[in-house]
Amino acid sequence: MSANIYHNRKAQWLAYIGLFCLLALVPALFDSPFLLNQLARYAVFAMLAVSVSLVWGYGGILSLGQGIAFGLAAYGMGMTMQMQFQDPVSDPVPSFMLTNDLSTLPLLWEPFWSTPIGLALTIAVPTIFFIGFGAMMFQARVAGVFVAIMTLAMLAAWYAMAYDMQPFTSGFNGISPPMPFEFAGVSIDPYSPTAYLICVGFLAALTLSAKLLMQSKFGLIVQAIRDDPERVRFLGYNVAYYQVIVFAISGFIAACGGLCWVMVVQYVSPTSLELTLSVSAVIWAAVGGRLSLLGAILGAYLVNGLQSYMGDELQDVWMIVLGSIFIGVVLFLPRGLVGLIEDALGYFTGKSETETSGVAIERAV
Amino acid sequence: MTITRRSLIKRSSALALALSTPAIFRPSSARAQPWISKNGTIKLGVLFSQSGPLAVVENDSTQVVLFAIDEINANGGVAGMQVEPVVIDAKSDVKVYSEKISQLILSDRVISTIGGYTSASRRAVAPFVMARDHLFYYPTCYEGRECTQNVICTGPLANQHSQDLIPFMVQNFGKRVYFVGSNYIWPKESNKVARVWLEKVGGEVLGEDYVPIGGSEFAPIFNKIRQANPDFIFSTLIGDSDVAMHKQFLSEGFKADKMPIASLTTGEIEVRAMGAEAGAGHFLSAPYFQALDTPTNNRFVEKYLGSKYGGGGVTHYNMEETYLAVYFWKAGLEKALAQTGDIEAITPRMIRDASGGVTIGDEISPEGKVWIDPDNFNMWLRPKIGQCQGDGQFKIIKVADQHVGPNPFEIYPDRGVCKADGLHTPAGAIQKGVL
Amino acid sequence: MSVTDFWTPFELNSFLNALFIGLSIASIWLIAAVGLTIIYGTMGVINMAHGELIMLGAYTTYVLQTFFYIPFLLCLPLVFIIVSIFGLFIERTIIRRLYNRPLDTLLATWGLSLILIQGVRVIFGTAPKYVSIPSWLNFQVSLGFLHLPGFRLFIILATAALIFATWYIAYRTTWGIRVRAVMADPDMASSFGIDSNRIYSITFAYGAGLAGVAGALFGGLKTLLPDMGSGYIVEAFLVVVVGGTQLLGSIFSSIILGELASIFSYFTNDTFARFVLFTLIVIFLRFRPQGLITEGMKRR
């Protein structure tokens, strides 16, 4: 095997931990609430990209429906925060409901009086939905393009639902909880270092656990299924079981992203269930490198950073640049930007293996 | 810091906490820094979409704000200082609205922001604007039902729009109406209010249909309309749906003189997009029309269309409301300055509080005299009814006899009354920041 | 909200008319999807920029009409040719490199769609444009209680004509036999001397041309905006996948989906109709991922 340091597990862990330490240091270095909030948003996008990297890069399942988990969780969090604002006695029903012909709180909203139950539902509902949806697809051995189309249709269905059920979701206008999220008596200002560190903490914990999982036997089987599901099936493994689990984990990660998202923006609308967001997440992962969780994170930070900082100067051409970058990456860098790093490191530290397929198991970081 | 926070939390009510926590994290230097510094310029945030689907309307909004600021600066600025617009493209994405409002307030330190066309964008920026006690001008029509202390709206509310339109249509065409709207809150609310006016004149709603925003398939709805055979259609469709409906109305064989569309949205810009033959004969209720024949408006139209900002070729109500927003901001700032005397002491909230009752007279306002309601900070205006002609311009049929006041909770009397300090509920409580 | 507010009361005549309208909706879905069916069915390329090809067709019509004063009917073949040439260009520069990576075509064409939307926006501006339809199409067909605008009828007929032409090319010409041979087994086909690359190029161009014609027709129904195509892509894909990526399957699936959409929106509203429809499609694909109709041949 090659001695490329890129494939050295110790070096990989060092890189991951180094990155997260760097991210955690940001509040100490910059005293700018705006920057912290912006970077917290990027961290949320990075979670979404990690979820794509896991399910697509490692699991070989191209899901265009990561926004389902993200959006459902975002609504859960939005509802939790809205109910924190309401008062059980004097003002029990959110304002937008009273003007939508609801005079009492709908049953769907009742559990969200309690913040812990609200948070639990925020994470559990999308995850369980992904288990059910995944089981439905993978037991029927749906694969490849069809998964992409089915997740796309499901996303479109949820979008229509969030949009149409106006008395419950405030429709297109969305829910804007008037107050920051409060947990255990502490109010978490979206522009504070606390909110930022929570987002980065989520990102780090989810990414490192995912990496650990992908290095385990379970992870190896998942990657083997990606490379050749038939062969794994013949070896006696229940392929659908592994696919459902990895799909559900990706849903869980996206749901955590949705939770943090509403915490830092204090707003949720059907746009989190739009196709654009889900495809963008795929773009971030692909640009950074879907075969590497770290790559996906870098992709999310890079593309969004470019969008924020370059967009203002070159408004007219931004979309063209983004589209071109994306086509370029797909055509010439199928392993994303980290593929370049891999080659560079291989050049300096050992024999590079770029000639062989980019999806060999040992390549996955 | 932790100890201060904990003890603070115990002492304050939940809302006071929300407002005060940010201050803890704000560096002390920033707190002392004035919003307007004497040697600089006055910064005004301009947050509209210049790309994406909303750009169709919001591009004109940006242009007219820049036009108004040029005008103000050429006439000596505000209190002798030049106004500097900080223009940001919101890319038709609510995520960008919510990100950029914080950039405008925290990094650019604008004194106020003008922006938004959809309620979604207003609601996306509202939590942050409220948390920082800043000021946001929302320059277009919306549904009302909100009572916040940090937003000033210069468009008509649902209760101002249809008050004259519905009786007018019933009188001239008949009592049987079909409602068609885009599927979101503003159309549903407008229809709810229109129902109230309709009941007063003995009208009847034959059907109510909503299409998704951007939806362009109207065959099923026209099928139902043909079955119901109403006297007129009341439309609250927005954007391309509105255009598509008018085009298909024509191709379905309906006639504007038999069953006209009475709309709250189909202005000059929409008619230009659908072609004048599709718009001709239909009605619009709005506070402003390009064809309004007053010296101020004629001057405004000529000057605007002749300027480098007038590339769009028409003026329309949304644009004029945006223009007014800039002048209301100027008037509010000047009044606040007269009260305090020190421009460096002025905060966004002072401008808001000073804006109650501020009037813009005939000599500036193209639509005629308007003023800000001192209780709910929406605008008093005179709605007008126009009929679209073959050249794409409107003929003004009726002007309201007197100004109509905004009432965000008109059809929800049991919610309470919106006053400057919050929503006064019947139970005697005052709710702040009702979104 | 009471039940009567939500559900339109049933009335036979207008319900029958709703079925009739379903056909009209189906023709729109079908013409939007037929190019995609051919491209996906033949090449396995998932063209996310298909909606933007439709948009280009509409804008091309606008340009031909407004600046060259070309009558609407003559615009249709011209649009077909122009968008085909553009399709050929895309195939040569981007798609060709991705034949072994179907999922990557999805991503690359998504990037392409961003470029096309913004490109058109930069060139034509954000203000909406419109295509005017000839006045002789401004008639209504009324058969008793059935009503159909002339332009809708025109779209139905145009769709039928294009489908027939496509069927004829695919099943009655040597060219079509070659295409189907490549679909069935590219390796075997090339060993018989068929240049599969050339087949792919022409097929993609043909599919793109069909999308362009669809755009020209849609221009008469709605406004032209740079992002008008994104509204069609989800529906078009569902038609293709539900149909089983065959021409016949797409016809059936668009009729079924169009009818369902019309019936649902007759009883409830349009938005809720979409929710029900999409959910039904997901469930359908669960039990029949191969789609409605399979030719019993294996692709790839």
pLDDT at position A312 is 59
Cα–Cα dist A25/A19, whole Å: 10
Question: In this complex, which of C129, C147, C221 lies closest to B216 when CB atoms are compared?
Answer: C221
Q: Does B151 reach chain A within 8 Å, measured CB to CB? A: no
Distance CA A94, CA B433 (A): 12
Determine whether the interchain pair A176/B124 forms a contact, defined as Cβ–Cβ distance below 8 Å. yes
Give the closest residue to C179 by CA, choosing from C195, C159, C163. Answer: C195
Rounded to the nearest integer, the mean pLDDT of chain B is 88
Least confident piece of the model among A159-163, A318-322, C116-120: A318-322
Question: Residue B51 and residue B57: Cα distance in Å, rounded?
Answer: 10
Confirm if B314 and B272 have CB atoms less than 8 A apart. yes
The predicted pLDDT at position C276 comes to 87
Residue A2: predicted pLDDT = 52
C-alpha to C-alpha distance for A332 and B312, rounded to whole angstroms: 42
How many cross-chain Cβ pairs, A to C, lie less than 8 Å apart?
Answer: 117
DSSP class of residue B99?
H
State percent of chain B over pLDDT 90: 63
Range C14-43 average pLDDT: 88
The answer to whether residue B35 neighbours chain A at the CB level (below 8 Å) is no
Could you tell me which chains touch chain B, where touching means 3 or more CB pairs under 8 A?
A, C
pLDDT band at B398 (very low <50, low <70, confident <90, very high): very high
In this complex, is the C-beta atom of C150 within 8 Å of any C-beta atom belonging to chain B?
Answer: yes
| Tens of pLDDT, residues A251-260 | 999 999 999 9
User: Closest partner residue to B120 among A166, A173, A178, by Cβ?
Assistant: A173
d(CA A213, CA A51): 13
Inter-chain touch C222–B243, beta carbons under 8 Å: yes
pLDDT (average), residues C50-70: 95
Q: Are residues A154 and C271, on separate chains, in Cβ contact within 8 Å?
A: no
Query: Is it the case that residue B17 has pLDDT exceeding 70?
Result: no
Lowest mean pLDDT among B28-32, B213-217, C35-39, C162-166: B28-32
The amino acid at B103? Q
Record: contact C28-B220, CB cut-off 8 A: no
SS3 label, residue B112: strand
Q: Report the Cα–Cα distance between both ends of chain C, in Å, rounded.
A: 52
Tokens linked to B231: 């006297």
Q: How many Å separate Cα B137 from the centre of its chain?
A: 8
- Which one of B185, B196, B213, B409 would you mutate to disrupt binding with A, by most A Cβ within 10 Å of its Cβ? B185
What are chain B's domains? 2-28 (no CATH), 34-156+294-372 (3.40.50.2300), 158-286 (3.40.50.2300)
- Whether B21 has a pLDDT exceeding 90, the answer reads no
Confidence grade of residue C8 (pLDDT, cut at 50, 70, 90):
low
Any CB–CB contact under 8 A between B5 and chain A? yes
What was the pLDDT predicted at B24? 39
Q: pLDDT grade, residue B32 (50/70/90)?
A: low
Q: Which among A352, A361, A306 is positioned nearest to A329, based on CA atoms?
A: A306
Neighbours of C176 (CB within 10 A): 15
The pLDDT of residue B86 is: 94
When scoring A179, A262, A271, A277 by the number of chain B Cβ atoms within 10 A, the one with the most, hence best to mutate, is A179
What confidence tier does C295 reach under pLDDT thresholds 50, 70, 90?
Answer: low
DSSP-derived letter for residue C246 is S
**Strand-pair partners of A26:** none
| pLDDT at residue number B43 | 96
Structure pTM? Answer: 0.89
DSSP string, B184-214: SHHHHHHHHHHHHHHHHTT-EEEEEEEE-TT
**Best-predicted range by mean pLDDT among A332-336, B132-136, C121-125, C184-188?**
B132-136
Closest CA to C92 of C189, C209, C200: C200
Q: Choose the closest CB to C271 out of A145, A146, A164.
A: A164
- Residue B19: pLDDT over 70: no
Q: What is the DSSP letter of B423?
A: E
Q: What pLDDT was estimated at residue B61?
A: 93
If you average pLDDT over residues B99-121, what whole number do you get?
93
Given C133, C150, C222, which is nearest B216 (Cβ)? C222
Q: Does pLDDT of A314 surpass 90?
A: no
The candidate with the shortest Cα–Cα distance to B339, out of B354, B326, B328, is: B354
Q: What is the DSSP string of A2-71?
A: ---GGG-HHHHHHHHHHHHHHHHHHHHH---HHHHHHHHHHHHHHHHHHHHIIIIIIT----S-HHHHHH
* Any B CB within 8 A of C132 CB: yes
- What percent of chain B clears pLDDT 70, i.e. is strictly above it? 93
Residue among B123, B128, B31 nearest A180 (CA): B128
CA of C184 to nearest chain B CA: how many angstroms apart? Answer: 38
Residue A61 confidence (pLDDT) above 50: yes
Facing A176 at nearest CB: one of B107, B213, B435: B435
Tens of pLDDT along B298-337? Answer: 999 999 999 999 888 899 999 999 999 999 999 999 999 9
Q: Which helix (H) or strand (E) holds B263?
A: strand B261-263
Confidence of residue A241 (pLDDT cuts 50, 70, 90): very high
pLDDT over 70 percentage in chain A = 93
Cα A179 to the chain's mean position, in Å? 25
What is the rounded end-to-end Cα distance, in angstroms, of chain A? 15
Q: What was the pLDDT predicted at C135? A: 83
| Closest chain A residue to the Cα of B435, Cα to Cα | A95
Which of A343-347, A360-364, B171-175, C258-262 comes out lowest in average pLDDT? A360-364
Mean pLDDT of the region C206-220: 93
Amino acid A350: pLDDT:
62
Quote the pLDDT of residue C20: 84
Q: Where are the alpha helices (DSSP H) in A30-65?
A: 33-52
B424 strand-pairing partners:
B417, B430
Chain A residues touching residue B102 (CB < 8 angstroms): 33-34, 37-38, 191
Mean pLDDT, residues A304-328: 81
Is residue C242 within 8 A of residue C255, CB to CB? The reply is no
Contact C103 A148 (CB under 8 A): yes
Give mean pLDDT, residues C243-255.
Answer: 89
Contacts of B72 (CB under 8 A, 6+ apart): B78, B83, B326, B327, B330
pLDDT-derived band at A287, boundaries 50, 70, 90: very high
Task: Name the least confident of A6-10, B291-295, B309-313, C292-296.
Answer: C292-296
Per-residue pLDDT, B400? 92
Residue C45: predicted pLDDT: 86
> Can you tell me the distance from the alpha carbon of A43 to that of A213, in angstroms, rounded to the nearest whole number?
21
Closest CA in chain A for residue B188: A100
- Mean pLDDT, chain C, rounded, equals 86
Instruction: Decide if pLDDT at B1 tops 60.
Output: no
Q: What pLDDT, on a 0 to 100 scale, did the predictor assign at position B161?
A: 83
Cβ count near C177 (within 10 Å)? 14
Task: Render pLDDT for C89-99 as a digit per residue (tens, 0 to 9).
Answer: 999 999 998 88
Euclidean distance between CA atoms B271 and B264, whole angstroms = 13
How far is residue A94's CA from residue A173's CA, in Å, rounded to a whole number? 14
Per residue in A116-164, pLDDT tens?
999 999 999 999 999 999 999 999 888 888 898 889 999 999 999 998 8
The tokens of C87 are what?
């399709």
pLDDT surpassing 80 at residue A355: no
Cβ-Cβ contacts under 8 Å, A160 against chain C? 271-272, 274-275, 278
Q: Is B23's pLDDT higher than 50?
A: no
- Say whether pLDDT at B4 is over 70: no
Q: What is the pLDDT of residue C269?
A: 74
User: Taking the domains of chain C in order of start, what are their residue ranges?
Assistant: 14-287
Residues of B with CB under 8 A from a CB of C: 50-53, 55-56, 59, 183, 207-212, 214-217, 219-220, 223-224, 226-227, 240, 243-244, 247-248, 250-253, 269, 272-275, 312
Per-residue pLDDT for C299 more than 50? no
Total Cβ atoms within 10 A of residue A306: 15
The answer to whether residues C233 and C50 touch, using CB atoms and an 8 Å cutoff, is yes
The secondary structure of residue B78, as a DSSP letter, is: B
C113-146 burial code (b ≥16 CB/10 A, e <16): bbbbbbbbbeebebbbbbbbbeeebeeeeeeeee
Q: Which H, E and C letters describe chain C, residue by residue?
A: CCHHHHCCCCCHHHHHHHHHHHHHHHHHHHHHHHHHHHHHHHHCCCCCCHHHHHHHHHHHHHHHHHHHCCCHHHHHHHHHHHHHHHHHHHHHHCHHHHCCCHHHHHHHHHHHHHHHHHHHHHHHCCCCECCCCCHHHCCEEEECCEEEEHHHHHHHHHHHHHHHHHHHHHHHCHHHHHHHHHHHCHHHHHHCCCCHHHHHHHHHHHHHHHHHHHHHHHCCCCCECCCCCHHHHHHHHHHHHHHCCCHHHHHHHHHHHHHHHHHHHHHCCHHHHHHHHHHHHHHHHHHCCCCCCCCCCCCC
What tokens appear for A274 in the block?
């739009």
Chain B contacts in chain A segment 39-78 (CB below 8 A): 41
Contact between residue A200 and residue A16 where contact means Cβ atoms under 8 Å apart: no
Give B49 to chain A, closest Cα distance, Å: 11
Residues of C with CB under 8 A from a CB of A: 1, 46, 94, 97-98, 101-104, 106-108, 110-115, 117-119, 121-122, 234, 237-238, 241, 269, 271-272, 274-275, 278-279, 281-282, 285-287, 289
Tokens of A279: 């495809």
B residues 86-115 closer than 8 Å to A (CB): 88-89, 91, 93-95, 98-99, 102-103, 106-107
Q: Report yes or no: A32 and B106 within 8 Å, Cβ to Cβ.
A: yes
Intra-chain end-to-end CA distance of chain B, in Å: 32
Q: Which domains are seen in chain A, by residue range?
A: 10-363 (1.10.3470)
How far is residue C28's CA from residue C39's CA, in Å, rounded to a whole number? 18
pLDDT of residue B212: 84
Contact yes or no for C111 and A164 at CB 8 A: no
Question: Nearest C-alpha of chain A: how many angstroms from C50?
Answer: 15
- CA-based radius of gyration for chain B: 22
**DSSP 3-state assignment of B307?**
coil
Nearest to B180, CA basis, from B149, B218, B214: B218
Which sign, positive or negative, has the C-alpha torsion C54, C56, C58, C60?
A: negative
Interface contact flag, C266 B224, Cβ < 8 Å:
yes
Q: What is the mean pLDDT of residues B22-48?
A: 73
Residue of A nearest to C275 (CA): A157
Chains touching chain C through at least 3 C-beta pairs below 8 angstroms are: A, B
pLDDT band at residue C7 under the 50/70/90 scheme: low
Average pLDDT, chain A: 90
Do the chains contact at B103 and A34, CB–CB below 8 Å?
yes
Q: Of A8 and B361, which is predicted with more confidence? A: B361
Of C25, C130, C266, the CB nearest to B273: C130
Distance from CA of B370 to the nearest CA of A (A): 28
212-231 in C: which are within 8 Å (CB) of B?
Answer: 220-223, 225, 227-228, 231
pLDDT value at C141 more than 90:
no
Q: C66 CB near a chain B CB, below 8 Å? A: no
Strand order in the sheet with B112-115: B83-89, B42-48, B112-115, B136-138, B151-153
- How far apart are alpha carbons B139 and B325 in whole angstroms? 6
Strands B42-48, B112-115: parallel, antiparallel or unpaired by DSSP?
parallel
pLDDT at A216 over 90: yes
CB count within 10 Å of CB B19 equals 17
Is residue B259 within 8 Å of B233, Cβ to Cβ?
yes
C86 touches chain B (CB under 8 A): no
Put simply, the chain A residues between 246 and 275 with a CB less than 8 A from any chain C CB are 275
Q: What share of chain C is helix, strand, coil (3-state, %, to 5)?
A: 75, 5, 20
Burial of B174 (0-12, 13-18, 19+ CB in 10 A): middle
Chain-chain contact of B227 with C227 (C-beta, under 8 angstroms)? no
On the 0-12 / 13-18 / 19+ scale of CB atoms within 10 A, C91 is buried
Window A:22-51, CB contacts with C under 8 Å? none
Residue A288, pLDDT > 90, answer yes
Query: Do residues B21 and B2 touch, judged by C-beta distance below 8 A?
Result: no
Contacting chains of A (3 CB pairs or more, <8 Å) are: B, C
Contacts of C138 (CB under 8 A, 6+ apart): B250, B251, C150, C151
Q: Is the pLDDT of residue A55 over 70?
A: yes
